[in-house]
Structure 1
């Protein structure tokens, strides 16, 4: 399209005495010029929008952080000054019900119940004890204890496998000494990348005081901002105090505490410097594992019997299938062995030998011959391993020789010694 202002190419027509040659209105040059201008405008508008939106988000985040800081400051103030929180209004946050009646006690900041009954108080007085169990000091009962006390001690041993009578005399909130080496006390840990954790406590027909003392210790000794929940996993307990009374009591705790119950016995398979060190093997009374990794390696072997060997299996699988196991020297866990053994054949399989045979057949390759030499080549049933072998293939696990060479090279000496 041409006009008098933009004549056709080659035309001698002039306009306004302008000797220049006119160019077409819709030329390729004009088109790309317009595109560049529009693109530049779009970029400027985008930058303007993003900048303002980012500032708006930052402003909102800062405001939320100020509110949270204000809430935490007021909450700490109220707890330190003994004011009942239910009578206070803290910004726009609703006060959790579990904090409604709590006041500050310097010896018990969570105001948790010590759990010593009136009957236990009478025994403490009768036995001339003062703060039994405080700071981990052992309790010594007099030789002339009454027949009633002796009967209760016998009942505790027969039922729970330890001196349950003494446990009833110890406060759920008793203080314990810091047994860490000095090097551990000086370590400083980063907390900015900490995530919330779920603490899993399996139990089966446990004494009330032992179980609750564990829960209280966690609550009193762990910063609550790092606890997502406490999960009490009941392995088909039959004792009545672990039924409704446990549910009613845990509902009053200042931490989200849930009870997960099994209707059949599952056993434990239901659940130099001071830096962390490689753990070729371990006994997992207590273990921390990443939830996503635990899910990826598909948890524990549910076809194992009630108790025994699951720690070996999980360690082997973790190392051979892309994970890593470490023990932490600065972490101290107390473990109490019971007087009597667990009932290890309640699932009708083969107990501990069944479990160990499943492990060696699945993971130890040619090294399983040493296991069978030790048990004199006895035939040990281990069930169907099809699913375990498929899992091993799915996870692209390494051969057991890799574990020997890279994790526990001392085991290379096994053939010579055996």
Structure 2
């Protein structure tokens, strides 16, 4: 993001009230549970981090804000040391925790959750600005049913100009949602001392609700601006970028995180995505049929895998990758070969392009490329 501009902007700045007029007229109970707002960061720009904190302090009713908990996931930027400590020291309700090694987003969130004292855990990315009246609608949804995971609507903050851009077409009342935006959600649901993912929440008796009367501005970055330290070595393998470009940012998974979700929750569907014991919850088939019945109609299940793993060039020993040649964090190393002979990585298939005399990656299937492959297990 444009940190030169961010550093020039005030930490307290006005943003447009993007709520529907019906939301602005709504009243919420005074007796709502108080929240711990947990903000995990690693090598975040100081001004964008402090602007996030200041917006939470300024736009949250004091009796509903138990604390703001900053969790530093082993940052090494100089201004995130003593300058950050000096900046947050005079702020009431703000605490700073530091991890002793790089933990990654999920473990760092868990550290914050264990240290939090509020009745509700609310997680924010470190580059947000919450909007007017953002907190009561979320807490009201949780208070009505403690099994609810409440999610605000996300407005966009341009990463270059920092212009606040509203999301249009929103309604007023809460709506069921099968998924969560990355990084920003309200977690009150716990199961056996674990914090659950969105699918887990539905499958274990909870619900995920989007709350349109709660608006949060979020800076969408066009790339991941940091590395993962020694996490790949400790995890036993490289970081895998296992998703496409979504809303202008790349989503990355470690192999262990991705495989845990697949093995524990996705039943027979896990082979399309490629631990611990499964929890006593509904099946992933139930989730697909009940929560997102339209999903398989819009996105039919992928073909059955025959093999999956890395593709290695025999002569050089180099791995074949898809993605950006200049951004190693957004390259995918894992391919799957379907029974139909498609060599697939994410949403793309590898095919031979006769006109280029080269192997290319294109959307499956492509009439311009020969896309049928075979694997000889003997040779």
TM-score, normalised to structure 1, is 0.49
Structure of larger gyration radius: 1
Secondary structure in structure 2 of the residue aligned to 1:398: coil
Secondary structure in structure 1 of the residue aligned to 2:100: coil
Change (3 A) 1:169 1:367: same
Higher relative contact order (CA 8 A, sep 6+): 2
Distance apart, 1:231 and its partner CA: 0.2
Secondary structure in structure 1 of the residue aligned to 2:194: coil
Does 2:183 align with 1:183?
A: no
Does 2:11 align with 1:172?
A: yes
Write the mapping of 1:384-395 to structure 2, written as runs, cut at 5 A.
385=275, 388-389=276-277, 392-393=278-279
Secondary structure in structure 2 of the residue aligned to 1:332: strand
Q: 1-side partners of 2:181 and 2:36: how far apart?
A: 20
Measured against aligned partners, the alpha-carbon deviations of 1:188-215 in whole angstroms (never above 9, x if no partner) come to 2222x21221111111111221111111
Does 2:41 align with 1:203?
A: yes
Give the aligned partner of residue 370 of structure 1. Answer: 272
Distance apart, 1:339 and its partner CA: 4.2
Write the mapping of 1:236-275 to structure 2, written as runs, cut at 5 A.
236-253=74-91, 255-269=92-106, 270-271=108-109, 273-275=171-173
Greater strand proportion:
2
Q: Structure 1: where are the runs of 5+ without partners?
A: 1-161, 301-313, 373-384
Change (3 A) 1:410 1:297: farther
Change (3 A) 1:416 1:371: closer
Write the mapping of 1:320-359 to structure 2, written as runs, cut at 5 A.
320-341=203-224, 342-344=226-228, 346-348=230-232, 349-352=237-240, 353=242, 354=255, 355-359=257-261
Within the candidate set 290, 294, 307, 1:406 is matched to 290
Give the aligned partner of residue 199 of structure 2. Answer: 316
Q: 2-side partners of 1:227 and 1:281: how far apart?
A: 26
Aligned CA-pair RMSD: 2.2
Greater helix proportion:
1
Distance apart, 1:245 and its partner CA: 2.4
Q: 2-side partners of 1:204 and 1:260: how far apart?
A: 12
Q: 2-side partners of 1:344 and 1:356: how far apart?
A: 16
Q: Structure 2: where are the runs of 5+ without partners?
A: 110-169, 243-254, 304-379
Q: 2-side partners of 1:327 and 1:366: how far apart?
A: 29
CA contact (8 A) 2:203 2:282 kept: yes
Change (3 A) 1:227 1:344: same
Distance apart, 1:370 and its partner CA: 3.1
Give the aligned partner of residue 190 of structure 2. Answer: 294
Aligned positions, number: 222
Q: 2-side partners of 1:295 and 1:260: how far apart?
A: 25
